[in-house]
Amino acid sequence: RPTGIALFPTFLFLAWKEKRSLLAYFAGMATSGGLLLFSLYCMIRFGDPLAFVHVQQAWQQQNLLDIIQGALALNRDSLMKLLMLLGGGYLLWYLRAKLNHVVVAYGFFSLFLLAISKAFTSLDRYIYGIVSLSLALGMVFANHPRWGYGIIAFLAIWLVRFAILFAWWQFVA
Per-residue pLDDT reduced to its tens digit, 121-146:
777 778 888 888 889 988 998 988 88
Instruction: Tell me which residue of 127, 122, 152, 130 sits closest to 140, measured CA to CA.
Output: 152
pLDDT digits (tens, 9 = 90+) for 55-111: 777 766 677 777 788 888 888 888 888 888 899 999 999 999 999 888 898 889 888
What's the chain's length in residues?
Answer: 173
- DSSP H helices, 55-173, are 64-72, 76-94, 101-116, 123-128, 131-143, 145-167
In angstroms, the Cα distances linking 33 to 37, 53, 101, 164 are: 6, 17, 23, 37
pTM of the complete model: 0.74
